[in-house]
Amino acid sequence: MSCAVSEGGVSNPPWPDGLENPSSDGEKCGLAHPGSCERETASHNRQNFDNPHFAFEIHVTDWSPFDLPLTDPRHPFHLEHMAMALDEARAAEAEDEVPIGCVIVSLKKGVIGKAHNQRETLKDPTAHAEMIAITQAAQAMESWRLEQCILYVTLEPCPMCAGAIVLARLPMVVYGCTDPKAGACDTLFRITNDPRLNHRAQVIGGVLAEECGGILSAFFAAKRRG
């Protein structure tokens, strides 16, 4: 039995397949909540009836990955939308485009942009998935400011797209795999976090990284085979 977010009687929560459960081993609980938390201590099961703050019991089934903060890459909100971006990447692949997909979600309106790379189809060097999705999202919001929105993309944005993210005032970017050749959030540049620019975005990398990278590797391997 291990600690979860809430106080009271708790046990191991269900965990998404393929993701490491931070509380499945080790001595400390890996989840963020007030105070330190040793596993298997009596306090976890004790019902503090005398303390008004603990005058209730939260059952095992109440734990959910949704209790994770949105800054956690394992949050189901991120997994759900990255899977959607992966579907877009597959749509790109079906058009013989480099398989990269992007989804933009407004916390108020839901999905407001969904696009894939269309450089060859549109014969346009600016037609990256992120750029098309940002333009779509701005139309949906009727504003060039995409505040309260999150951008999901299967590959780390390039300098152009990272620059567009800053210009759109997007507060959060979630990407799948890193791009060693042109990555501009973490790898080659840190444009989205540069203190000299007039906006910074929070960046979360590595969400469904294996799937996001796998579809790219398979695409280029097939190209090399001709």
* Helix (H) or strand (E) run with residue 150 in it: strand 149-155
Q: Which of residues 103-132 bind a copy of itself (CB under 8 A)?
A: 119-120, 123-128, 131
SS3 79: helix
Minimum Å distance from CB 81 to a copy of itself? Answer: 20
Q: Which is nearer to a copy of itself, 39 or 190 (CB)?
A: 190
* Helix (H) or strand (E) run with residue 115 in it: strand 110-116
**Using CB under 8 A as the criterion, what x/- string covers residues 142-181 for binding a copy of itself?**
xxxxx-----------xxxxxxx-xxxx-----------x
Q: Which is nearer to a copy of itself, 196 or 224 (CB)?
A: 196
Angle between helices 76-94 and 209-225 (to 10 degrees): 10
Question: On the CB side of 136, how many CA atoms lie within 13 Å of its CA?
Answer: 19
Catalytic residue among 130, 147, 210, 211: 130
138 vs 131: CA distance, rounded Å: 11
226 vs 220: CA distance, rounded Å: 10
Q: Which of residues 182-221 bind a copy of itself (CB under 8 A)?
A: 182, 184, 188-189, 191, 194, 196-198
Q: Which is nearer to a copy of itself, 21 or 135 (CB)?
A: 135
- Which residues sit opposite 104 in a β-bridge? 113, 151
Does residue 130 have an active-site annotation? Answer: yes
Which residues form the catalytic set? 130
Query: Which residues contact a copy of itself by CB under 8 A?
Result: 119-120, 123-128, 131, 134-135, 138-139, 142-146, 158-164, 166-169, 181-182, 184, 188-189, 191, 194, 196-198
